[in-house]
Structure 1
Amino acid sequence: MPEVTTQVRTVALPDGELNLSWAEVTDTGRRREINQDAVLTLFPLFIVADGMGGHIGGEIASARTVERLRAVAETGEVSSKSIEKALAKAVKDIASHPGATDDGTGTTVTGLYLDTDAGDPHWVTLNIGDSRVYLARDGSLVQITTDHSVVQELVAAGRLSPEEAEHHPYGNVITRAVGPSDSVTPDYVRLDLVDGDRFVVCSDGLTKELTDYGIQHFLAEHDDPAEAVEAMLAAALENGGRDNVTIIVLNVAVSSTQDEDVSSTEDDVQGDAA
């Protein structure tokens, strides 16, 4: 198992401080010869890309897409506009690469970024494909992204139950990806900054082997992101490891200077009363 460490970052907010901690892991799994997943954790952008395509096509697609997004993160100017420009460049990279000749070559792109430009800092999730972003809050786990897959469309149409979807033969068929078409726009969801939130970004190599309940269990068992991703990876491999597995766990802690001011005022009042 690859070595995993927790990284930290402190971000100044208009009325307080944001403390982030995260860890990521990617593994080939037990049945695949190469790892076609790619991962990016470069503040303020956290991304998982799951490549698809014959031979090395999927590996090329996910790697080039993550490289283009890495360049965006390095500028610090992450927005829907800059992301979409990077994805358009990635599509051209994939199409022009001699090792990505298969018609089905492409990659999912899923993750989130911290948007501070609007003066009201918030998270934005993005998604193309069937990798996922989960949010753990107040003891519950919610899938924020919606899969772009044949099975999900059948579920949405009421033609398939969620239980049936788990074992459907078309479970691997996705309806949107970076690579097969000239222009693909992610779905976006805006989320407030909330103290105590925890995000999980993962490829379907995790969700094939671990239920939502299992993901929630390992988050509850492990506060440290590195320990959480290691435990989830170990469980996915033990359950079969049929695909490449990539996981990011991101912890969010928000402190407010207003709370500190109130505390200081209370201390002063108590001191005066004494």
Structure 2
Amino acid sequence: MSLKISFACLSDPGKVRKNNEDNALIAEELSLGIVADGMGGHSCGEVASDLAVKVTKEKFESMRTTGMKPPHYDEKLSLETNQLGFAVQLANSVVYEAGNASPDKKGMGTTLSALMLNAGKLCIAHIGDSRIYLLRAGELTQLTEDHSLVMEHVRKGRMTREQAEKSPLQNILTRALGTQKQPPIDLLEREAKEGDRVLLCSDGLFKPVPEDKIKEIMQAEPDDARLCAKLVETANINGGPDNVTVVAGTLKKKTFKESIGDLLK
């Protein structure tokens, strides 16, 4: 059975911050969605996240067109996941070089979480503490791992998840795009199923809105665009302490006509 994914996205500065340093991109022709949460003063975070999503999409699209096999190829993963990871690594180089080229941009960086659907698999590249969730059969699962100091402590048993959520250290990242020459990028794949819902989001969503509430909203709203609006609205009702950005996607079965069209490409 061939699957397709449709996306919607929404970004909002929230109730506290004037600038929106988040960015999102959807490219349905590539079955690709990306969320990035920038950091750095003087609007540098906005520059970093904008560069990151645009370069990732551009490089990934180029590799998909040429069929290029990236260096440092992971044989356990598909060509497409390797291409997505290399595209993110190339975006890192662009952000890193831009940050070092100008004193007022030095130290800028961004999170980046990207998901694409290919051949029945969800292909993911991720760095930072934005998140990708999967809602399947009533269960909400976080597919990505937060690259933050507090979650590092949680994974090592030094802190509970509840303590991490209240810690003053929760905004310290252990990995981000643009802050070093070649940061490790998490790459993973999950089997895709008809009816799956995916959610990519910046921390401006999941910090003010508990996961149980996110799950409840996702289950209650089948339309991706309305889901994005409801999630952003809920984050702002709960104080809107940060920029909030969401990309929502739904996996559906391709029609016979769409499947035939793929074969003719």
State the distance in 2 between where 1:144 and 1:25 align: 21
RMSD: 1.8
CA distance in 1, matches of 2:87, 2:60: 9
Is contact 2:5-2:31 (8 Å) kept? Answer: no
> C-alpha offsets along residues 80-137 of structure 1, whole Å, 9 cap, x if unaligned?
2333223323322333245413x3x210011212245xxxx41111211100000000
> Residues of 1 paired with 2:102 and 2:24: CA distance?
20
**Contact 2:5–2:117 (8 Å) recurs in 1:** no
The residue aligned with 1:231 is 230
Quote the Cα distance in structure 1 between the aligned partners of 2:192 and 2:154. Answer: 31
TM-score by length of 1: 0.81
**CA distance in structure 2 between the partners assigned to 1:193 and 1:130 by the alignment:** 23
Identity %: 35
Secondary structure of residue in 2 paired with 1:166: helix
Structure with bigger gyration radius: 1
The AA in structure 2 aligned to 1:109 is L
* Equivalent position to 2:6, from 21, 30, 48: 21
1:37 alignment counterpart:
22
SS class of match (2:50): helix
Deviations 1:164-221 (A, max 9, x none): 1111110111110011111113101111121111100000000111111111011111
Contact 1:206 1:233 in 2 (8 A): yes
Helix, strand or coil: the match of 1:205?
helix
Which residue type is aligned with residue 136 of structure 1? Answer: L
What is aligned with 1:127?
Answer: 126
For 1:48, which of 35, 58, 62 is the aligned residue?
A: 35
Aligned residues: 236
One-letter amino acid matched to 1:68: V
Taking the aligned partners of 2:33 and 2:142, their CA distance within structure 1 comes to 16
Counterpart in 2 of 1:66? 53
Deviation for aligned residue 1:73: 4.4
- Are 2:82 and 1:83 aligned? no
More helix by share: 2
Question: C-alpha distance in 2, partners of 1:110/1:149?
Answer: 14
Aligned residue runs from structure 1 range 159-178, under 5 A: 159-178=158-177
Contact 1:38 1:63 in 2 (8 A): yes
Distance in 2 (CA, whole Å) between partners of 1:61 and 1:98 is 14
> What is the DSSP-based 3-state SS (H/G/I as helix, E as strand, rest coil) of the residue aligned with 2:20?
coil
